[in-house]
Amino acid sequence: KLMDSGAAIAAIAHSRHECVTVLLDKVCFHTPIRVGDLCTVRAGVTYTSNRSMEVVCQVWKSPSGIVGGLTGNVTEPLCAVEARFVFVALDTSGKVIPVPQLPFDERTNRWDIAATKHEERVAERSRSDRQQ
């Protein structure tokens, strides 16, 4: 829930419209989050097609809930969980609308990965439609 909300904020900020989650593509758990760990959610749009956006969301943790703890030791935050979400933007009547394209200077190496994933999802949807 926390990651979906964080990813939604990034999608809404990018599209300037209400957005809904259409797919949770992949969740990777890197390290456990324990009671008392201070967590920070980071999310950003990594890919845009005509009508959808991929958002990568990460949860970073600082062990012991206090950066540095009571001993004063500095503990570097760790990426505990990472997930890919796909969102669409909606107009005021709830219809899917085009989304603004990600500016070229903001594209990273994740763009290529996300573009491949998008093509795979479109192909899978096409195969599924033909089977019905």
User: Model-level pTM?
Assistant: 0.74
CA dist 2 → 8, 58, 77 (Å): 10, 10, 18
pLDDT mean over 74-92: 91
Please check whether residue 11 is in contact with residue 89, taking contact to mean a CB–CB distance below 8 angstroms: yes
Whether the Cβ atoms of residue 51 and residue 98 lie closer than 8 Å to each other: yes
- pLDDT interval class at 109 (50, 70, 90): low
pLDDT at 74: 55
Per-residue DSSP letter, 104:
G
